[in-house]
Structure 1
Amino acid sequence: MNDDTTASVQGEHATQSIAEHAASAEAAGFLHPAQQALLHERGWLTMLAPRACGGSELPLPQVVRLEEAVAAADGSTGWVLTLCAGAGWFAGFLAPEVAREVLATPRVCIGGSGAATGHADREGAGFRITGSWDYASGAPMATHFTVNAVLRADGKPLLDADGAPQVRAFLVPASQVRTVQSWRTIGLRASASHGYRIDDQWVPETYGFRISPAAATSDGPLYRYPFYSLAYVTLAANIAGMAGHFIRLARACLGHRRHGGSGLPLLDVPDVIALLRQQQQAFDDTRARFYEVLDDSWAQVAGGAALDDSSMRAVQTASLALVATARRAVDELYPYCGLYAAREDSTINRVWRDLHTASQHALLIP
């Protein structure tokens, strides 16, 4: 068995294990211990972190395809992997000694939120942080949280050259954070994307960072790839994974249902078959275009070039097109799947709920 075959078999085994525990994870409201263990054992939560600091620093196209495969096995696991590995990417912007310290944490997992809903007051060689943030996927397993906070002095926001409040990102150990059990959604229940609070906690200045290629502390192309472009492709891959899973399950449902008028199996009804083929083809074509744009953009950055505005728009457009096509395919096929698809305890219903929860992410609004 060659290396490629071994990797393929191991990957299939991993996704099977993730899928096997999806229902019990949803019932528990968080990832099953076997799912968590797999994320740690494979090093997937640090796959975007710098190799020199203890991460894997995998090429972005490899990361995105992995995230799609995991989301196809279970939406919640894919979502936690994507959001927490994405937060691990910030290690490429931290002081290297801090990044090494953080990544050496046993079972390290970084969660967080991008909203600037807290403030940070300068105090000595650091900042005292207070605030409340929403939607930290994987919160119960997080060893650290990232926050965006408005910088203040004497209780007043510090302003930049344009008169806007200055915002800085910080990394805060979980011991200084209080999780708020606020995640009550129809889908992605096991992602446990709870809110969290920080009350008057001091962190060193070295735990602050800025997300910009110019501020990167690691040299690899990952840290020159634009943040929003990275966010678009990783989120879109999750939607694609869930949609692909739904389409496969929908085909199986159609094989067990009969047309109410003719009595024919739905898979023998020409209009139904045409719809299934049309949605599958549209999804496959849009997905192929998405990966073509992703691979091209990565080749540019890996070759030493910066993504210009046109290239970044192409990444965003391809990502949003994939999300829109995935939504359309799922919504067009769902009515043909019967009451089984409406049962909360069915796999296809969980996938439907996960996709429609994930697609509410603010970046995925057309």
Structure 2
Amino acid sequence: MSNIFKHSLVERDLGRILRYAPVADAARFLHPVQQALIHRRGWLRMLAPKSAGGAELPLPAVVRLEEEIAGVDGSMGWVVTLCAGAGWFAGFLPPALARDIVGGKRVCVAGSGAPTGFADVDGDGFRISGRWDFASGAPMATHFTLNAVLREDGVPLLDDAGAQRIRAFLVPAQDVELLSTWRSIGMRATASHAYRIDNRWVHADHGFVIDPAHATAAGPLYRFPFLSLAFVTLAANVAGMAAHFVRLATEAIAGRRHPLAAMALAESPEVARRLADATESMAAARSRFYRLLDRAWQQVVDGVTLPEQDCAELHAASLSLVEAGRSAVDELYPCCGLRAAHEDSEINRVWRDLHTASQHALLLP
């Protein structure tokens, strides 16, 4: 197991990610060189507890790294984000089990949040069956997480309010059948396939509750609200992709002539305005986003339970960041020429990735 946790990109890493991004897109999964880099840098352990062999990095540092990776390759950034996020669940598992998993060779936890399966009580464990969609990084996963409806004798168990009880579980990859279902136009190298489990038994200690009151690791990471963590990590990915597109669009526009006027396209007042507006709106949204994230993190570090109003502001800032990126890309795309519509071009790949990633249900306006 590597003990080198890198939470910023060095030039050599950036070059490797960029070099293999088009190859991974065509192959519909991350290139082995990209996978090796992810494991060598320890990025999938960066949210796991130190007590289990993780890095337990401060959340703002993780979010900035995820944005940086997505700013080079959206698919790789997304896999790192989703799989590192699933590794965060180790802070809610029994410590011995967390150590076994996080300490495993080339550990990678993938999963899905929808409760589209069942966990039937069976002795001191559960028998799990169901199908779950959109497990980013599935081909390299050593473990999968899932949510399942609890049942006993085939009857769903209910909570005090009469709703079905749902519990999160972690299962080894050998208990999972992958289904090749990911056919999106973008984020192709995430290989976000579905998976199925058919009547597999797991011990009860493989079930966990994602709530600070049930955390088994003591650090502030595990007191940070899960929904807020999901918002900020996903939004940062879209921001990285949008910034990547704007850089490429600026280069594309600089090389074009206005079709009607005798001037460079970049000299057109309308095009110049679009470029300036895109840059300024994204910078403003990003500044507010990180200001609120840094403030929320410091509150949690100081032992404060994050107020609902602060969570709501952080979620709104996340959506504003996504919208600023999406709007900037849509404003600039028509100025980029047919090269931007060519499937094999870098700018087209970034365009496809952003418009796929921003369809995540949590990021819809």
TM-score bracket for this pair, using the shorter chain length: over 0.9
Distance, in Å, in 2 between the alignment partners of 1:121 and 1:250 is 53
* Residue type at the aligned position of 1:183: W
Distance, in Å, in 2 between the alignment partners of 1:154 and 1:287 is 51
1:319-359, CA deviations, whole angstroms, 9 ceiling, x for partnerless residues? 00000000000000000000000000000000000000000
Say whether the 8 Å CA contact 1:15–1:69 is kept in structure 2.
no
TM-score, scaled relative to structure 1: 0.97
Matched, 1:140 2:139: yes
**What pairs up with 1:23-102 in 2 under 5 angstroms?**
23-102=22-101
Distance, in Å, in 2 between the alignment partners of 1:255 and 1:152 is 61
Q: Which residue of 1 is the match for residue 114 of structure 2?
A: 115
* Residue type at the aligned position of 1:122: V
Partner SS for 1:253: helix
Say whether the 8 Å CA contact 2:135–2:195 is kept in structure 1.
yes
Partner SS for 2:331: helix
* Residue type at the aligned position of 2:225: P
5+ residue gaps, structure 2, are 1-5
1:154-192, CA deviations, whole angstroms, 9 ceiling, x for partnerless residues? 101000101111000000000000000000000000000
**What pairs up with 1:158-307 in 2 under 5 angstroms?**
158-307=157-306
Distance, in Å, in 2 between the alignment partners of 1:66 and 1:309 is 26
Say whether the 8 Å CA contact 1:93–1:210 is kept in structure 2.
yes
Give the C-alpha shift of residue 11 in structure 1. 2.1
* Residue type at the aligned position of 1:97: A
Distance, in Å, in 1 between the alignment partners of 2:211 and 2:8 is 38
Partner SS for 1:326: helix
Give the C-alpha shift of residue 259 in structure 1. 1.0
Give the C-alpha shift of residue 365 in structure 1. 1.1
Give the C-alpha shift of residue 10 in structure 1. 5.7
Greater Cα offset, 271-280 or 193-202:
271-280
Distance, in Å, in 1 between the alignment partners of 2:255 and 2:177 is 48
Distance, in Å, in 2 between the alignment partners of 1:69 and 1:202 is 40
Partner SS for 1:16: helix
Partner SS for 1:171: strand
Distance, in Å, in 1 between the alignment partners of 2:135 and 2:306 is 29
1:63-100, CA deviations, whole angstroms, 9 ceiling, x for partnerless residues? 00000000011000000000000000000000001100
Say whether the 8 Å CA contact 1:47–1:63 is kept in structure 2.
yes
* Residue type at the aligned position of 1:227: F
Q: Which residue of 1 is the match for residue 3 of structure 2?
A: none
Distance, in Å, in 2 between the alignment partners of 1:124 and 1:18 is 47
* Residue type at the aligned position of 2:140: M
Give the C-alpha shift of residue 12 in structure 1. 2.5
Backbone CA RMSD of aligned residues: 1.0
**What pairs up with 1:1-12 in 2 under 5 angstroms?**
11-12=10-11
Distance, in Å, in 2 between the alignment partners of 1:198 and 1:111 is 14
Say whether the 8 Å CA contact 2:117–2:147 is kept in structure 1.
yes
Say whether the 8 Å CA contact 2:333–2:340 is kept in structure 1.
yes
Q: Percent identity?
A: 59
Give the C-alpha shift of residue 106 in structure 1. 0.9
Say whether the 8 Å CA contact 2:157–2:165 is kept in structure 1.
yes
Distance, in Å, in 1 between the alignment partners of 2:329 and 2:9 is 29
* Residue type at the aligned position of 1:93: F
* Residue type at the aligned position of 2:30: L
* Residue type at the aligned position of 1:273: A
* Residue type at the aligned position of 1:345: D
Q: Which residue of 1 is the match for residue 314 of structure 2?
A: 315
Give the C-alpha shift of residue 271 in structure 1. 1.8
Say whether the 8 Å CA contact 2:93–2:208 is kept in structure 1.
yes
TM-score, scaled relative to structure 2: 0.97
Distance of aligned partners of 1:116 and 1:8 in 2 relative to their CA distance in 1, 3 Å threshold? closer
